[in-house]
Amino acid sequence: MLRRAILIVVAAYVRAPSDGDTTLSSPLPMRLACGSFYEAVEYEFIKCEGSVWSVDGVSFSTHSHFILSIKPSFSLTMMFPKKYWTITLASLLILAALIMISYHATKQDSDTGFFRRLVLEAAWPLESLKNRSLKTLRESWDRYLFLIGLEAENRRLRKENHLLENQLVQYREGYLDALRLRKILKLQEQLDRIPVIAEVIDREQSPLFKSILIDKGTAHGLKVGLPVLSDQGIAGRITECSWHISRIMLVVDVNSNVSVLLQRSRTHGVLQGAGAAGCRLKYVPKAEEVKVGDAVISSGLGGIFPKGIILGVVAAVDKKEGGFFQRIDVQPSVDFGKLEEVVVLNPQKDRKP
């Protein structure tokens, strides 16, 4: 039977129907409390004959304990009111999901449990973020250490580079000194006097007046009027002399005058200083042939400068200027801005035979 019957033993006194009523014309409903599962039930007497009751084919006397057939009259709305249906349904679904998860977990052959894999899967984004963060931090730290080491290495290399540059400058300076001294020695072989080598210690120059100071003086046998040369040619002559310092008036000073001649044509003239403009060759007649590039050398006249020492080259020639003489501009052979050592010719120190 689809309908479940609940049998309850009841001790009660039931009043019999009046004589002549052999069958109940209608059910006799009663409601009984029936525990927590059923809130209320109804029972009915199916048949009555005299003092004997017949309930579902079972006879009982009216004054005895008897068993009643109970027909339940409950529904789900009595157990679960409508306001709890949503919560109840959700709870059932969650329970079903947990049962399925547990069932599938027991079917896994892996050593790692399902719930553990589930936890690991849920923690994977955080673990990945942690690993990336640690990797970035580690790379940043390594880069920082690398940069610190690189900076220290750069400092060391810069220091070494400065030392090498200083050494290179010293070696180059020594090489240039050797070249200058070689030229001076070559010049010394051409002179009949032993020269005194001096270093330039100061420059006193203006647009018109040009002079230098050297570190030799009367203590070294020098005096006023002595000629001064460089490895590039004649530089000037001594105009002032003290115990350890001498002043040299350069050939470009406006007060300087040197007797010269043109090496190619052997034409004589006077080389006069023109300050910043260099020098000018004066007293050369217009009839004389002068070409740009002609060398100008000392003539030996006047007894100050030895003959044949170069002073410069012709830079420009102008015969259109009025008068009897040409205007001849001369570029000095000595670069006075780079003059470092000079040679003073001292006639008191004769060369030994």
Averaged over successive runs of 10 residues, the pLDDT of the chain (353 residues) comes to 36 40 39 37 43 48 42 49 69 70 53 60 70 81 79 83 84 80 71 81 85 93 92 92 94 95 94 92 93 94 88 93 89 91 74 43
User: Domain check: are 200 and 298 in the same one?
Assistant: yes
103 domain residue, yes or no: no
User: Domain check: are 202 and 173 in the same one?
Assistant: no
CA dihedral of residues 73, 79, 80, 81 (deg, nearest 10): 60
Closest CA to 200 of 336, 345, 304: 336
Q: Which helix (H) or strand (E) holds 174?
A: helix 114-190
User: Domain check: are 210 and 342 in the same one?
Assistant: yes
User: Domain check: are 156 and 222 in the same one?
Assistant: no
Which structure tokens are listed for 169?
């400058």
Domain boundary among 175, 190, 205: 190
> pTM here?
0.51
Q: Which amino acid is at 279?
A: C
Domain with 246 in it: what CATH number?
2.40.10.340
Please report where in the chains the tokens 């052997």 appear, as a residue: 266
131 domain residue, yes or no: yes
Confidence at residue 268, expressed as pLDDT on a 0 to 100 scale: 94
User: Domain check: are 296 and 213 in the same one?
Assistant: yes
Q: How far is CA 193 from CA 108, 234, 245, 342, in A?
A: 115, 15, 21, 15
152 domain residue, yes or no: yes
Q: Domains in the chain: how many in total?
A: 3
Closest CA to 24 of 4, 5, 52: 52
User: Domain check: are 266 and 208 in the same one?
Assistant: yes
Confidence at residue 77, expressed as pLDDT on a 0 to 100 scale: 52
84 domain residue, yes or no: no
| Cα(163)–Cα(132) distance, integer angstroms | 46
* Rounded to 5°, angle at Cα 17 from 11 and 18: 145
| Cα(114)–Cα(129) distance, integer angstroms | 23
Q: Which amino acid is at 321?
A: E
Domain boundary among 190, 208, 243: 190
User: Domain check: are 334 and 201 in the same one?
Assistant: yes
User: What are the backbone angles phi and psi of residue 271, rounded to the nearest 5°?
Assistant: -90, 115
Question: Other C-beta atoms within 10 Å of 227: how many?
Answer: 24
Please report where in the chains the tokens 């004649």 appear, as a residue: 234
User: Domain check: are 63 and 129 in the same one?
Assistant: no
Spell out the long-range contacts of 99-107 with Cβ–Cβ below 8 A and sequence spacing 24 or more.
none
Domain boundary among 167, 190, 213: 190
The boundaries of the domain holding residue 311 are: 193-350
User: Domain check: are 171 and 207 in the same one?
Assistant: no
User: Domain check: are 198 and 345 in the same one?
Assistant: yes
Q: Name the CA radius of gyration of the chain, rounded.
A: 67
User: Domain check: are 166 and 286 in the same one?
Assistant: no
88 domain residue, yes or no: no
Name residues whose C-beta falls within 8 Å of residue 236's C-beta, 6 or more positions apart in sequence.
211, 212, 227, 228, 248, 249, 250, 251, 253, 256
87 domain residue, yes or no: no
User: Domain check: are 258 and 135 in the same one?
Assistant: no
Phi and psi based region of residue 302 (left: phi greater than 0; alpha: psi -120 to 50; beta: remaining): left
| Cα(197)–Cα(221) distance, integer angstroms | 12
| Cα(3)–Cα(282) distance, integer angstroms | 152
298 domain residue, yes or no: yes
Cβ atoms of 296 and 262 closer than 8 Å: yes
130 domain residue, yes or no: yes
